[in-house]
Amino acid sequence: MTKTKNTALKHTGAFWMFVLPSLLLFTFFFMIPLFLSIWFSFTNYDGWKTMDFVGLKNYITALTNADFYKTLGRTLLYTICNLPFKVAIPLLLATLVTSKSLKCTTLVRTLVYIPVLFSALVAGITINWMFGQEYGLINFLLQGIGIQPLQWSLNPTLATIVISVASNWVSAGYYMLMYIGGIKNISPDLYEAASVDGASKVQAFFGITVPLLMPTTFIVLLLTTVSSLKEYALVQGISLGGPGTSTTYIVQYIYDQGFNQYKYGYASALGILVSLVFIIIAVVQFKATKGGEI
């Protein structure tokens, strides 16, 4: 009995040794900031000396602020427009690199995944070089076919397109790996049976691959939605939210209110409200897709 008890204690101790580092990091970098943010949202904290309790004033101000709704609407529009590409591009890439007819599969996978390893600064510099007005690669190619150079950073629509291209470029490899794992779990017998029945590769893709990847697609959809809603570093590296406020999304807006306007209490309230919006969107996605059930 004593030996069994000692074994159980050893297993418990080993469990906490593995869990404790992650638990401490989670507590210090998530739970404590979360509780502090909730507390600050009920104060007029300015980041220095002032921190008086103001109740729901910050929330009322946010919910009656037209700029907040404009920025949130801009962020939601950006996210909605990006979602099809965030899902379709990695899925098509995963299908391509798992195809038996593709040569140099490892090299292709590596080249697609490399942008995931880039920092937002490196990705921003690369994209700025590609879409530069005077010496950019894209404008050089456009001039080569007789099209006038485009003012990418001065046109709100074009600036948004540049950010979307950059976002899809740096994230496609990560989600491609998720889809590769899902495709590897599909039995080859299903494709052989479809081939015997006369189904083409396109029909097999839409009839077998896409439906059986629904659980993976749900995860990708959820992750890409959250990442698009909180797009920040890439935007800062490319456009700084310009021209004007055309690429200023909700995280930039919260950052500006907190660190530039010194309204930490108000920014905390904005953060809580936006978090609630994120949760609502996640719940709606879960209900709409039934959690990715096949």
For the stretch 231-266, pLDDT in tens is 988 898 888 888 888 999 999 999 999 989 999 999
Lookup: tokens for 17: 């040794």
Which residues fall within 8 angstroms of residue 226, CB to CB, at 6 or more apart? 278, 282
Residue 22 has pLDDT above 60, yes or no: yes
The span from the CA of 216 to the CA of 180, in Å, is: 10
The span from the CA of 23 to the CA of 98, in Å, is: 37
Q: How many CB atoms lie within 10 A of CB 196?
A: 8
Q: Model-level pTM?
A: 0.88
Which residues fall within 8 angstroms of residue 210, CB to CB, at 6 or more apart? 91, 217
Mean pLDDT of 273-282: 91
- SS3 of 95, please? helix
> Can you identify the CATH homologous superfamily of domain 40-292?
MetI-like (1.10.3720.10)
| Residue from 132, 141, 182 nearest 159 by CA | 132
Mean pLDDT of 38-42: 94
Mean pLDDT of 54-78: 94
pLDDT at position 2, please? 62
Q: Are 156 and 163 in contact (CB under 8 A)?
A: no
Residue 8 has pLDDT above 70, yes or no: no
Sequence spans of domains, the chain: 40-292
- For 168-195, give one letter per residue: b (16+ CB within 10 A) or e: bbbbbbbbbbbbbebbeeeeeeebeebe
pLDDT at position 10, please? 67
pLDDT at position 94, please? 94
pLDDT tens for each residue of 166-204: 999 999 999 999 999 999 999 889 888 988 888 888 898
The span from the CA of 104 to the CA of 58, in Å, is: 56
Which residues fall within 8 angstroms of residue 67, CB to CB, at 6 or more apart? 253
Please give the DSSP secondary-structure letter assigned to residue 104. Answer: S
- Cα four-point dihedral sign 32, 34, 35, 36: positive
Please give the DSSP secondary-structure letter assigned to residue 264. Answer: H
pLDDT at position 59, please? 96
pLDDT at position 6, please? 64
